[in-house]
Amino acid sequence: MRNMALALVFSAMPAAAAEEVTVLALGDSLTAGYGLPEGEGFVPQMQQWLRDHGESVSLVNAGVSGDTTAGGRARLDWSLTPEVDAMIVNLGGNDMLRGLDPALTRGNLEAILKTAEDRGLPVLLVGLAAPGNYGPDFKRSFDAIFPGLAQSYGADLEPNFFAALAARLDEPDARQRYMQPDGIHPSAEGVAVIVEEMGPRVQALVERARQ
């Protein structure tokens, strides 16, 4: 009877809350939320998505508008505070827009992933697809950076930040709905679509951090 009573007591107690995970979102304007009201950028929308799906997560916005992979690499050490458990790396767009040598982009991202590996931090690497205006060789080299590095360093991969929006281009007024007037940055509604698509990958990253 005593054992049964104890079992009833413990079964009535709520399950222990999962330990909070701190994820550093290292990126450029796409991460920082350029052009959007506070609370509508990638980080706050992803934070809310994770909470809505039962995750105890602190998502740190380390996005700097205009940053290249070299800039992200330069500020990585002081961005990685002791409480960081995992990283989202969303860099490379400004390298692409400036037509920088993809070998330089790859080298900077590799250094970032190597630092994460040395610290035992799981990473979600977010890629981009280059346009064709720099020529087929540039596009081929740039597009290969992200899957290649993800495979080499065991990182999770989101192949293309804009993939979810590209899939909706046939919708009426898609560009006006999902993109800001500059045609480069997503609108708040566009961010919501991206977050809905990418959320499960970030959730998987959180689970890796808890293991």
| Residues ≥6 apart with Cβ < 8 Å to 55 | 18, 21, 203, 206
Which of the residues in the chain have pLDDT under 50?
1, 3-16
Q: What pLDDT sits at residue 17?
A: 55
**Sequential DSSP letters for 69-112:** HHHHHHTHHHHS-TT--EEEEE--HHHHHTT--HHHHHHHHHHH
**Sequential DSSP letters for 105-171:** HHHHHHHHHHHHHHTT--EEEE-----GGG-HHHHHHHHHHHHHHHHHHT-EEES-TTHHHHTTTTS
> Can you tell me the distance from the alpha carbon of 200 to that of 25, in angstroms, rounded to the nearest whole number?
16
Q: What pLDDT sits at residue 169?
A: 87
Burial 19-36 (b: 16+ CB within 10 A, else e): eebbbbbbbbbbbbbbbb
* Contact of 43 with 61, CB cutoff 8 Å: yes
Tell me, what amino acid is at 119?
A: R
The domain over range 20-210 is classified in CATH as 3.40.50.1110: yes
Give me the active site residues, please: 29, 182, 185
Q: What pLDDT sits at residue 39?
A: 94
Tokens 């689970």 belong to 207
Tokens, residue 127: 């890629």
Domain boundaries, the chain: 20-210
| Residues ≥6 apart with Cβ < 8 Å to 191 | 33, 36, 40, 41, 42, 45
Please work out, in degrees rounded to the nearest 5, the angle formed at the alpha carbon of residue 131 by the alpha carbons of 130 and 134: 95
> Can you tell me the distance from the alpha carbon of 209 to that of 23, in angstroms, rounded to the nearest whole number?
9
The torsion angle over the Cα atoms of residues 92, 183, 194 and 26, rounded to 10 degrees, is: 30
Its pTM stands at: 0.90
